[in-house]
A and B are shown apart, each in its own frame.
Chain A
């Protein structure tokens, strides 16, 4: 009980824990059950494509354990997340215990141990993006995702994605887009919903991608001058009216926990 009170008081991380969890790995363990052993290949049905993929991966390394991360990635792509079934299938092909794999999966941010995918939007809110107002971009995207009832997409803040030149930015299924503005949130979420390309011309992998302040930008990019304008506009707007640190402990917890809380209230 003490733990529950505490978690409600501290906000953010506590609130996530206090919210009811969807079925996944973080549910209580039945300690009366015998420990899981290496699954018998005869008993676990593994899709042929996945089995082949994992076997190819294992062959690349001197030690088959090295395949754990890429194999779980493959399983995650097949199942949408590292579900108990997905882990069992990988364990059966790799001949390791499911416990070993789940211990590894819980360590890494990109392996999902909750069914929150299969698509993702990682909004970078690390130091360099934070300095360029990333929190507002994240808030706008998270709000837009709720408003448009975006389903099957994991929207979360992420630590530095290594693209501070295009800050603030987001990674949508690995496609880096930026610099973003909170006004881009609507289009970004709509494009995900409708399966379109996210912000064409503004992805790092686009052939004509240029940063707005790049001297070549105006010729190479159709949205060049406009992007430059909005960027400069934003930068020259003094940030003074902001409270000392808007992203910390706003009344009612942080935005991080809202997605978990809202469905319950509805």
Chain B
């Protein structure tokens, strides 16, 4: 296995004391900031980011430069928000970046603020990451003292204030508009879009929201140029990506790869593959919200396009591997319970759909379900998709839908076996004929 990491963001991650400004500067830190401030016009910074083809690393994969270019020009209060509410199950890359290299993120935030013309920024970090938030707060204080933050950075005309804001434990706050509501001190309910945050975001002002990893890429792009960045990765998936490999693998962890590496190399070469004696049953290619792919897709290149073509998504870059010892129903149920707990309750399809999916799955597991329940559950997923303000409901509907698609036989077998095991009074065992007719109804 020729799998090797390409370390760009994680290049110096093992350097002792990297959290301090001194060590970060010694390794070339804040050089890009000086370049962006003094050698380039703000428009050039924006063009460079756009040219690089850097796509959002938080989940949606939208071009970062383009997002920044939507921010209206002119003198007004504009904001930059760094989304550090990393709560997608399976994702832990931002935690590493913030804990080990906080200044890279801060420099990225300042460069982002130059591109967007923002003068006030917030790092919205999830409350569970209290240790990382402490590190960031210390780093921000150091940066203020050195004059990289505040009014007139390093004597230039650019002002930028940065505040570390802690969330209090809600998955939905990772959704950009819910994050804004949480930052405004409200319940974290997603907002109706449009207007998009670029026009009307935090405190109704234009707001640029980016993921931690996206912003961490900015200093490198400014220092070495868009062409260098485009040289990494393939096609429209440029640059490197930190992949969080977890689940049934022997060596879970963060691995930085060039986009385009085959999935097999990531799971087997870097992650060590499933435990001895087990096979990959399926995997989530981009966090728990991504539809699962089976072992047939292991040879696909890990890019935004290839994952989308295979019917899934690259998402946050978290690969959760499920091996053949795990019943698919237990994964589906755990997933559905998660989304039921985290649904904010604003939109009916999501609030009710997640609840009914859990109940149906519980019935499947306790032997009270019939094959018809599987059809009902599929329909529930279809009725959630695209019918809510945000994608939380879809995040459950897509993986559950894909599980039913790929593992229908296992679901049916589970229903039958659980039914036989439960030995419910007054409920006759299902005959093969009934099963077939239920399937026929579903297909029609």
Residues of A within 8 A of B (CB): 60-63, 65-70, 72-73, 103-104, 107-111, 122, 125-128, 130-132, 158-167, 171, 174-176, 204-205, 211, 213-214, 235-236, 238-240, 244-245, 247-249
Minimum CB distance partner of B85 in chain A:
A162
Q: Cα distance A245–B410 when bound, in Å? A: 14
Whether A108 touches B169, Cβ cut-off 8 Å, given contacts A126-B334, A165-B246, A165-B253, is: yes
B192 CB → nearest A CB, Å:
19
Q: Show 6 A/B contacts (Cβ-Cβ < 8 Å), sorted by A.
A: A110-B169, A131-B320, A160-B171, A174-B128, A245-B365, A248-B365
Q: Contact at A164–B89, with CB atoms within 8 Å?
A: yes
Q: Cα distance A173–B95 when bound, in Å? A: 17
Q: Contact at A167–B252, with CB atoms within 8 Å?
A: yes
Give the chain A neighbours of B87 by CB distance below 8 A.
Answer: 159-160, 162
Q: Contact at A244–B327, with CB atoms within 8 Å?
A: yes
Q: Contact at B277–A73, with CB atoms within 8 Å?
A: no
Q: Contact at A165–B92, with CB atoms within 8 Å?
A: yes
Minimum CB distance partner of A249 in chain B:
B366
Q: Contact at B130–A61, with CB atoms within 8 Å?
A: no
Q: Cα distance A67–B338 when bound, in Å? A: 28
Q: Contact at B163–A127, with CB atoms within 8 Å?
A: no
B374 CB → nearest A CB, Å:
16
Q: Cα distance A73–B94 when bound, in Å? A: 23
B36 CB → nearest A CB, Å:
25
Interface string of B156-171 (1 = CB under 8 A from A): 0000000101111111
Q: Cα distance A213–B90 when bound, in Å? A: 18
B287 CB → nearest A CB, Å:
9
Is there a chain A Cβ closer than 8 Å to B256's Cβ? no
Is there a chain A Cβ closer than 8 Å to B150's Cβ? no
Q: Contact at B127–A110, with CB atoms within 8 Å?
A: yes
Whether A62 touches B334, Cβ cut-off 8 Å, given contacts A70-B165, A161-B128, A213-B250, is: no
Interface string of B67-108 (1 = CB under 8 A from A): 000000000010000000011111110110001000000000
Number of interface residues of B (CB under 8 A): 73
A203 CB → nearest B CB, Å:
9
Is there a chain A Cβ closer than 8 Å to B203's Cβ? yes
Interface string of B26-67 (1 = CB under 8 A from A): 000000000000000000000000000000000000000000
Residue of A160, A166, A238 ringed by the most chain B CB atoms within 10 A: A160
Is there a chain A Cβ closer than 8 Å to B386's Cβ? no
Give the chain A neighbours of B344 by CB distance below 8 A.
Answer: 107
Q: Contact at B170–A127, with CB atoms within 8 Å?
A: no
Q: Cα distance A98–B127 when bound, in Å? A: 22
Give the chain A neighbours of B275 by CB distance below 8 A.
Answer: 235-236
From 173 to 221 in chain B, residues with beta carbon under 8 angstroms from any chain A beta carbon are 182-188, 203
Is there a chain A Cβ closer than 8 Å to B392's Cβ? no
- Looking at the complex, which one of A70, A73, A125, A171 makes contact with B128 (CB distance below 8 Å)? A171
- Looking at the complex, which one of A162, A165, A175 makes contact with B252 (CB distance below 8 Å)? A165
Q: Contact at A205–B131, with CB atoms within 8 Å?
A: yes
Is there a chain A Cβ closer than 8 Å to B272's Cβ? yes
Give the chain A neighbours of B86 by CB distance below 8 A.
Answer: 162
Q: Contact at B89–A245, with CB atoms within 8 Å?
A: no
Whether A128 touches B246, Cβ cut-off 8 Å, given contacts A159-B338, A160-B88, A244-B365, is: yes
Q: Contact at A160–B89, with CB atoms within 8 Å?
A: yes
Give the chain B neighbours of A240 by CB distance below 8 A.
Answer: 325
Q: Contact at B322–A131, with CB atoms within 8 Å?
A: yes
Q: Contact at B128–A128, with CB atoms within 8 Å?
A: no
Give the chain A neighbours of B88 by CB distance below 8 A.
Answer: 160
Q: Cα distance A66–B251 when bound, in Å? A: 41
From 232 to 288 in chain B, residues with beta carbon under 8 angstroms from any chain A beta carbon are 244, 246-248, 250-254, 272, 275-278, 284, 288
Give the chain B neighbours of A65 by CB distance below 8 A.
Answer: 184-186
Q: Cα distance A219–B126 when bound, in Å? A: 33
Interface string of B322-350 (1 = CB under 8 A from A): 10011101110111001001101000000
From 116 to 146 in chain B, residues with beta carbon under 8 angstroms from any chain A beta carbon are 120, 126-131
Q: Contact at B342–A73, with CB atoms within 8 Å?
A: no
Is there a chain A Cβ closer than 8 Å to B5's Cβ? no
Give the chain A neighbours of B167 by CB distance below 8 A.
Answer: 69, 108
Is there a chain A Cβ closer than 8 Å to B362's Cβ? yes
Give the chain A neighbours of B186 by CB distance below 8 A.
Answer: 65, 68, 104
Q: Cα distance A109–B184 when bound, in Å? A: 18
Give the chain B neighbours of A161 by CB distance below 8 A.
Answer: 128
Q: Cα distance A162–B167 when bound, in Å? A: 14
A230 CB → nearest B CB, Å:
14
B162 CB → nearest A CB, Å:
10
Give the chain A neighbours of B246 by CB distance below 8 A.
Answer: 128, 131, 164-165, 167
In addition to A104-B186, A127-B89, 12 A-B residue pairs with Cβ atoms within 8 Å of each other are: A62-B77, A63-B203, A72-B168, A108-B167, A108-B168, A128-B89, A158-B169, A165-B244, A166-B252, A235-B275, A238-B325, A244-B418
Q: Contact at A162–B95, with CB atoms within 8 Å?
A: yes
- Looking at the complex, which one of B90, B276, B333, B417 makes contact with A164 (CB distance below 8 Å)? B90
Is there a chain A Cβ closer than 8 Å to B414's Cβ? yes
Q: Cα distance A168–B188 when bound, in Å? A: 28
- Looking at the complex, which one of A61, A159, A164, A174 makes contact with B247 (CB distance below 8 Å)? A164
Minimum CB distance partner of A106 in chain B:
B187
Q: Cα distance A62–B341 when bound, in Å? A: 32
- Looking at the complex, which one of A104, A107, A127 makes contact with B335 (CB distance below 8 Å)? A127
5 tightest CB-CB pairs across the interface, nearest first? A68-B185, A164-B246, A109-B169, A108-B168, A110-B169
Minimum CB distance partner of A104 in chain B:
B187
Minimum CB distance partner of B186 in chain A:
A104
Give the chain B neighbours of A162 by CB distance below 8 A.
Answer: 86-87, 91-92, 94-95, 126, 128-129
